[in-house]
Amino acid sequence: MNQRQMARQCVMAEVASFQNLFLAAWKARCGKSRRADVEEWWMRRETEIATLHEELISGQYQPAGYRFFEIREPDQSIVG
């Protein structure tokens, strides 16, 4: 394994650490804790994080497809 591959593996180990993944999950949950789907995921977070950790370390992780949505800004021409 060359130096670049070792550096990449060390960085991935940090990204995929349980502590880092749990912190990311906690940050993603902030402001969404009343949503049923978020709470369902949160109840099984340990299993989900363990699975994600294994997929990241093994290189098997595949991100889901993109979701496109339209952001509608309030009409600025109407002044109250």
> Which residues, 6 or more positions from 50, have their beta carbon under 8 angstroms from its beta carbon?
18
pTM score of the predicted model: 0.69
Instruction: Say what the pLDDT of residue 7 is.
Output: 72
Angle at CA 23, nearest 5°, toward 21 and 26? Answer: 110
Mean per-residue pLDDT, 39-56: 95
Alpha helices in the chain (DSSP H): 3-15, 18-29, 36-43, 45-58
Instruction: Say what the pLDDT of residue 34 is.
Output: 87
Instruction: Say what the pLDDT of residue 49 is.
Output: 97
CA distance 20 to 58: 17
CA distance 20 to 17: 5
Widest CA span of the chain, in angstroms?
65
